[in-house]
């Protein structure tokens, strides 16, 4: 937690004021602990969960009731602790079994209605922009914000979010994950090329006037080559800092 606190101070010093906590399983104690610390430090906080990577794995008709109960438990915790935004999940479309995407969207509409009864904050759902067309067909229901995980490159990301804005309105969309499409758009071993690509992408995304969350995930003890880090253990600022002028 000392490291988490130091990381938060680094982010605050560089103008970051909103955090989307990594989604592990629902009601995950470590996620809730760092979310509380973020709130204490003055950040706007999003918390959520997932079945991916848990013993449940896929979302099936048989475990939807469990999914619902776990989300409602998280919603009650978020309400009690004044968490700003509660997500109903992330990219579950990739982990559906026995459920179609339209059925999943319809389920989330009903789940959102239930969550609003116990939670007064913003209710969101985040998914890949690859599923945008299905969401336009299904609608957002009572979900306040739809988040788009955007990795198809600057012009592609901007175009898809523009379509989402046209469908749902600017106030009901945000870019929930964004980073350079490493290995496709640019070589992430070349920090200058990576920074240039991030800068170019930002120039297309910022005029959309929706919140943008840079995806940063440290997945090893040595993150010197991690494409998702903001700062390495050696103190090197990664390209996102350069692109943002930090």
For residues 50 and 225, give the distance between their C-alpha atoms in angstroms, rounded to a whole number. Answer: 27
- Does the pLDDT value for residue 144 go beyond 70? yes
Integer Cα distance of 218 and 60 in angstroms: 30
Q: Which domains does the chain have, with CATH numbers?
A: 2-143 (3.20.20.80), 162-168+180-246 (no CATH)
Dihedral pair phi/psi, residue 216, rounded to 5°: -130, 115
Question: Token match 């997932």: residue?
Answer: 50
Rounded to 5°, the CA angle 65-92-131 comes to 130
- At 55 the pLDDT is 84
pTM beyond 0.85: the answer is yes
pLDDT tens digits, one per residue of 74-118: 999 999 999 999 999 999 999 999 999 999 999 999 999 999 999
90: nearest Cα among 128, 127, 123, 63: 127
């Amino acid at each position: 937690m000392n490291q988490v606190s130091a990381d938060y101070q680094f982010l605050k010093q560089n103008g970051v004021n909103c955090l989307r906590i990594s989604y592990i399983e629902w009601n995950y104690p470590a996620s809730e602990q760092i979310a509380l610390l973020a709130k204490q430090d003055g950040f706007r906080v999003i918390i959520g969960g997932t079945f991916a990577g848990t013993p449940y794995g896929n979302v099936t008709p048989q475990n939807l009731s469990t999914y619902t109960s776990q989300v409602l438990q998280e919603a009650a915790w978020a309400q009690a602790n004044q968490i700003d935004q509660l997500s109903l999940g992330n990219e579950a479309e990739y982990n559906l079994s026995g459920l179609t995407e339209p059925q999943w969207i319809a389920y989330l509409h009903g789940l959102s209605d239930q969550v609003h009864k116990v939670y007064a904050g913003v209710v969101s759902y985040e998914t890949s922009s690859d599923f945008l067309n299905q969401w336009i067909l299904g609608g957002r229901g009572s979900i306040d914000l739809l988040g788009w995980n955007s990795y198809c490159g600057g012009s592609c990301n901007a175009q898809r979010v523009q379509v989402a804005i046209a469908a749902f309105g600017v106030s009901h969309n945000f870019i929930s994950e964004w980073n350079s499409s490493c290995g496709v758009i640019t070589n992430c071993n070349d920090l200058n090329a990576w920074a240039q690509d991030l800068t170019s992408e930002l120039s297309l995304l910022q005029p959309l006037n929706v919140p943008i969350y840079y995806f940063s995930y440290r997945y090893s003890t040595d993150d010197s080559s991690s494409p998702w880090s903001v700062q390495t253990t050696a103190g090197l600022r990664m390209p996102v800092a350069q692109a943002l002028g930090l």
